[in-house]
Structure 1
Amino acid sequence: MEKIGFLLAFLLVLGNVSFMHASFSLSLIKDLASIVMDNYCTPEKLVGMKEAIETSGSNTDVLSIPDGDSLASVLSNGFQTTLNDPRLKVSFEPNYVPVAPPQMPPLPPEQLIAVLQTSIKLDILEGNIGYMRIDNILGEEVAEKVGPLLLDVVWNKILPTSALIFDLRYTGSGDITGIPYIVSYFTEAEPLIHIDTVYDRPSNTTTKLFSMSTLLGQRYGTTKPLIILTSKNTKGVAEDVAYCLQNLKRATVVGEKTAGGSVKIDKLKVGDTDFYVTVPTAKSINPITGSTWEITGMTPDVEVNAEDALATGIKIINLRAQVPAIIEEAAALIANNYAFESVGVDVAEKLKEHLGNGEFGMVLSKTGLETKLTADLKALSGDASLKTTSNTPALPPVDYSPEMYIALIKVSFHTDVLENNIGYLRFDMFGDFEEVKPIAQVIVEHVWNKVINTDALIIDLRNNLGGPTTAIAGFCSYFFDADKQILLDKLYDRPSGSTIELLTLSELTGTRYGSKKSLVILTSGATSGAAEEFVYIMKKLGRAMIIGETTAGGSHPPKIFPVGDSGIFLSIPTVHSDTTAGPAWEGAGVAPHIPVPADAALDTAKSILNKHFAGQQ
């Protein structure tokens, strides 16, 4: 009711303007309102308008506007603003001649073929991509008349193509009855699909549009790529066709947001005046979305300028042509290299099933393909490390000065000596053994020697995200004695089929912490990769107490594999820890001895160790 009141105010806006005389009949506004009330496609928006119009009908100030075009503009703005619908327009056209619906003239076949070739643009692009441009959507009646010729001149040339680009960038007209015809050529004969619902206000009828079981000629099918091009000039029935096929997941729409027209617009004369009102008399409600493209326009899947839409569509089709080979190659790489063979084979088979089911058929870009492939791999394997990745080349080694190394180490390691001579050591990443080896003495002097003489040590790995596992054996060795070599873990390398034994080292830089002093390791759900391998070993061998949260359940550092020549790369874990005694930590994480929230782990560890030392006193 507030909006209707606004319309009344709008019509009265010129009340303080003086005009010499009334130029138009007092019945004009009431007649106009009557047409809108009886024909506008969304009657629920009109509640209260009748009373408001009757009140405003006595306003001779508005009717005193001497210029018909100006009055039409005022009335248009009032209705459009009130109903929030720019399609509703009032015009003043003394010389208007109603346009008769286009009829197909009784032309001989050769001339009819020439007409069709002019109105429908057809081409076969490189890569066997069909291109079809239609600037008017034919209705049922016309389609039946020219159907056989359409098959010969257009459709039978399109059928053998591998993909189709359907250009609706210039389509501003069409017949509602043509919607099922077009949509049905891109769906199966059975079952019938409810593709649209159209409410017609003048007749107060609702019609459900279904796909058709019988068509003239063959269907294009449901698997070959279909790209629809749109622009801001795509309007009316063309919008409906694009919207239906988009929401059926049968077409990818590329281009600009469409005009936001209507499935049916009527231009009606206002009484015996020269004023006309253009009214949307029917509305479309999509059964899938429960919404409509009218007024707002439909949004493409890929928004680009209209002039770039064709090139973008071709690019998408070319990418989709490569998808089967990419997925097959990715599946083979996973089956042959994933650390756990049975899981790798299962993931590969299911990935190919996804391909066969058409789940990769709607990818829009290489990035989109990588995103979907990663999501599928993680879901199928439960392994966050099995994914697509960038093949970023390793940075060249930095020539650090001794002072720079010391500064870097001080930032990377945090040490402290707590109450009761309890050492604290935190670092958030494991380094590569070969890179660490040259600066091992520096680390010992500036980090290790600060905690080596403590009576117990807390190693904080709550923020440790992993890194290379090459330094694990050496780091573990500091917490065992030199007189006996200990088997820490067995690592199975899937690509080579070999097993590597991780053993404690007999020679180390600096002094060992030894096997007798208490050792506590703090963990969180973020503790991952190499850090988990260290925690796993120390827990398995009974060398440390683990306090905190179950670790992330990551993997040994994955290897990078190119997927053919696609420019896509896979991160595949290829190594797993010894599973002869049961599942290792990959995928499951390492459960702590004492589970507490990560932020409480340090206080818990200090409390336990302090009580331990207090008991010794």
Structure 2
Amino acid sequence: MRSTPAFAGLALALLSYAFPSLARESPRSHVEGVASAIEQNYFDERRAKQISTGLRGAAAKGEFDKLTDKRELASALTIKLEPFDRHFRVGWTDAPREQPAADSPVISPAQSQAKHRRGNYGVRRAEVLSGNIGYIDLRGFAPFEFGVAGQPERQAIEAALQLLAGTDALIIDLRDNGGGAPQMVGYLSSAFVKKDADIFNTFHGRDRTMSEAPLDWYPQPRLDTPLFVLTSARTASAAEAFAYTLQSAKRATVVGETSMGAANPGGEVDAGHGFSVFVSFATPINPITKANWEGRGVTPDVAAEPAAALVTARRLALEAVLAKGLSPELATDTRWALDALRAEAGAWPQVPADDYAGAYGMMAVDTDQGRLVLQQGRRPVRTLLPLGGDNFAVLENASQRVVFQRNAKGLVEALELRHSDGDVKRHRRGE
């Protein structure tokens, strides 16, 4: 039977009577849901009242009435709330949401185990750079539980640290790290300080406090290894906690740009009708600074554009290693790595390619896009970086150098392939 307009109107009225939320749902009702979530859960009750009252007042003035698209409303509310706390974030979805544990004072955003696994638990890359500098590209602080054996999140960071255990300095790259779990912050920090060092943040919530100090400490901390932490405006939350903690303890040099300034951890709270709001449940206090980085960010010790931060940190690391003192052979290798890095980062001067191009026994020198390259059979091509005069570093292997030899007439007659361990091979230029 076809319904008439009158029947449809009656049906809607009956539905509204049976399910009042259908009648009440509007941008203002959604704002009320967000405001209530903040008022009931934000760590500072006084500020929670102020923020929620201000949000309700804006809604009463009609500030959000035109935002009937729920995604646009969520974005507008995020922009409205961010000045009060950098962690505030409103979302909307028509899919069921996972709810955070009700009894947890500090909760990271819910993420599935599969997502953590596919991201290798935050460890994007771990490698040894030239000059024996360790490098970890860490994209997140994965959650784990202390006292539970075999957790892949903990094993991943331990594997990275073990891989780099023999390096002379270490760089931890947090430029693309948006945060994560405080357990991992404490555990990774403990890999660089004395056991039981009083350096860790204490989180203060409405009804409890919690320390970021790990329950299990890393068993072989590296107390004297030069440590550098890279930051950018993307670095946030737990990543900032790691940088701030070790910087405040004077255990790490922070390189890059000022971080986001999101200090207060929390979790997502259901605000009704598919809306949620990330609410800070606590605020950290550092035992050294008696403060935190909320709204200000972590200020780097050495400022650098994000794209240049790694090169800057590598230079600082090599200089720090040389300053500590090395055996002559190792010092040579480190200096060569530093020279190659400076040559790579600097403006490449034009070199008289015709002076050098040609065959040298089993090797050949040619040009590629204006750069000198060294070829040896089917081996990978090596790029030569000008160091001044007839001396060149090897881009792909800083432990090697190429030095061209000239005869009495000033013409190049040979090349020497030198290694930082003292080995030298000489190849005469073909006629």
* Band of TM-score, shorter chain: 0.5 to 0.7
Q: Identify the residue that residue 251 of structure 1 maps to in structure 2.
A: 252
Distance 1:237 1:80, change over 3 A: closer
Alignment deviations for residues 517-576 of structure 1 (CA, whole Å, 9 cap, x no partner): xxxxxxxxxxxxxxxxxxxxxxxxxxxxxxxxxxxxxxxxxxxxxxxxxxxxxxxxxxxx
Cα distance between partner residues in 2 of 1:148 and 1:209 = 16
Query: How far has the Cα of 1:35 moved from its partner?
Result: 0.6
Alignment deviations for residues 332-356 of structure 1 (CA, whole Å, 9 cap, x no partner): xxxxxxxxxxxxxxxxxxxxxxxxx
Cα distance between partner residues in 2 of 1:115 and 1:52 = 39
Q: Identify the residue that residue 517 of structure 1 maps to in structure 2.
A: none
Alignment deviations for residues 65-85 of structure 1 (CA, whole Å, 9 cap, x no partner): 54434444454444445x3x3
**Between Structure 1 and Structure 2, which shows a larger proportion of helix residues?**
1
How many residue pairs match? The answer is: 292
Between 253-262 and 96-105, the greater mean CA deviation after superposition = 96-105
Secondary structure of the 1:136 match is coil
Alignment deviations for residues 263-285 of structure 1 (CA, whole Å, 9 cap, x no partner): 534232323x2332232333222
2:180 is the alignment partner of 1:174:
yes
Q: Identify the residue that residue 129 of structure 1 maps to in structure 2.
A: 133
Secondary structure of the 1:173 match is coil
Cα distance between partner residues in 2 of 1:80 and 1:149 = 35
Q: Identify the residue that residue 275 of structure 2 maps to in structure 1.
A: 275
1:31 to 30, 33, 49: 33
Distance 1:46 1:304, change over 3 A: same
**TM-score normalised by structure 2 residue count:** 0.58
Any conservation in 2 of the 1:284–1:294 contact (CA below 8 Å)?
no
Query: How far has the Cα of 1:180 moved from its partner?
Result: 1.5
Identity percentage of aligned residues: 27
Query: How far has the Cα of 1:312 moved from its partner?
Result: 0.7
Alignment deviations for residues 185-216 of structure 1 (CA, whole Å, 9 cap, x no partner): 10112x43241111245xx321123366x545
2:230 is the alignment partner of 1:226:
no
Any conservation in 2 of the 1:86–1:295 contact (CA below 8 Å)?
yes
Any conservation in 1 of the 2:144–2:153 contact (CA below 8 Å)?
no
Distance 1:257 1:27, change over 3 A: same
Alignment deviations for residues 27-65 of structure 1 (CA, whole Å, 9 cap, x no partner): 444332211112223333234456666767766785465
Q: Identify the residue that residue 210 of structure 1 maps to in structure 2.
A: 213
Query: How far has the Cα of 1:146 moved from its partner?
Result: 3.3
Q: Identify the residue that residue 68 of structure 1 maps to in structure 2.
A: 70
Query: How far has the Cα of 1:24 moved from its partner?
Result: 0.9
Distance 1:314 1:62, change over 3 A: closer
Cα distance between partner residues in 2 of 1:57 and 1:118 = 40
Query: How far has the Cα of 1:248 moved from its partner?
Result: 0.4
Distance 1:44 1:286, change over 3 A: farther
Any conservation in 1 of the 2:200–2:287 contact (CA below 8 Å)?
yes
Cα distance between partner residues in 2 of 1:116 and 1:320 = 31
**Equivalences for residues 278-357 of structure 1 within 5 A:** 278-324=278-324
Distance 1:28 1:317, change over 3 A: closer
Tell me which of the two structures has the higher relative contact order, counting C-alpha pairs closer than 8 angstroms and 6 or more residues apart.
2
**TM-score normalised by structure 1 residue count:** 0.42
Distance 1:128 1:290, change over 3 A: same
2:163 is the alignment partner of 1:157:
yes
Secondary structure of the 1:245 match is helix
Any conservation in 2 of the 1:23–1:64 contact (CA below 8 Å)?
no
Cα distance between partner residues in 2 of 1:289 and 1:118 = 28
Distance 1:42 1:322, change over 3 A: same
Distance 1:176 1:75, change over 3 A: same
Secondary structure of the 2:239 match is helix
Cα distance between partner residues in 2 of 1:92 and 1:186 = 41
Any conservation in 1 of the 2:27–2:64 contact (CA below 8 Å)?
no
Unpaired runs of 5+ residues, structure 1, are 1-20, 107-111, 327-617
Secondary structure of the 2:242 match is helix
Cα distance between partner residues in 1 of 2:163 and 2:188 = 16
Q: Identify the residue that residue 3 of structure 1 maps to in structure 2.
A: none
Query: How far has the Cα of 1:249 moved from its partner?
Result: 0.3
Cα distance between partner residues in 2 of 1:254 and 1:268 = 35
Query: How far has the Cα of 1:313 moved from its partner?
Result: 0.9
Query: How far has the Cα of 1:165 moved from its partner?
Result: 0.9
Aligned letter for 2:221? R
Query: How far has the Cα of 1:178 moved from its partner?
Result: 1.2
Cα distance between partner residues in 1 of 2:171 and 2:63 = 55
Q: Identify the residue that residue 192 of structure 1 maps to in structure 2.
A: 197
Secondary structure of the 2:317 match is helix
Structure whose CA Rg is larger: 1
Unpaired runs of 5+ residues, structure 2, are 1-22, 99-108, 327-431
Cα distance between partner residues in 2 of 1:233 and 1:80 = 15
Query: How far has the Cα of 1:105 moved from its partner?
Result: 10
Secondary structure of the 2:321 match is helix
Between 222-231 and 241-250, the greater mean CA deviation after superposition = 222-231
**Equivalences for residues 355-394 of structure 1 within 5 A:** none
Cα distance between partner residues in 2 of 1:48 and 1:298 = 27
Query: How far has the Cα of 1:254 moved from its partner?
Result: 0.6
Cα distance between partner residues in 2 of 1:92 and 1:35 = 14
Distance 1:42 1:231, change over 3 A: same
Any conservation in 2 of the 1:173–1:235 contact (CA below 8 Å)?
yes
Secondary structure of the 2:197 match is coil
Alignment deviations for residues 438-471 of structure 1 (CA, whole Å, 9 cap, x no partner): xxxxxxxxxxxxxxxxxxxxxxxxxxxxxxxxxx
Cα distance between partner residues in 2 of 1:152 and 1:86 = 31
Distance 1:269 1:210, change over 3 A: closer
Secondary structure of the 1:178 match is helix
Query: How far has the Cα of 1:103 moved from its partner?
Result: 2.7
Aligned-residue CA RMSD (Å) = 3.6
Secondary structure of the 1:233 match is coil
Query: How far has the Cα of 1:176 moved from its partner?
Result: 1.2
Query: How far has the Cα of 1:305 moved from its partner?
Result: 1.0
**Equivalences for residues 490-501 of structure 1 within 5 A:** none
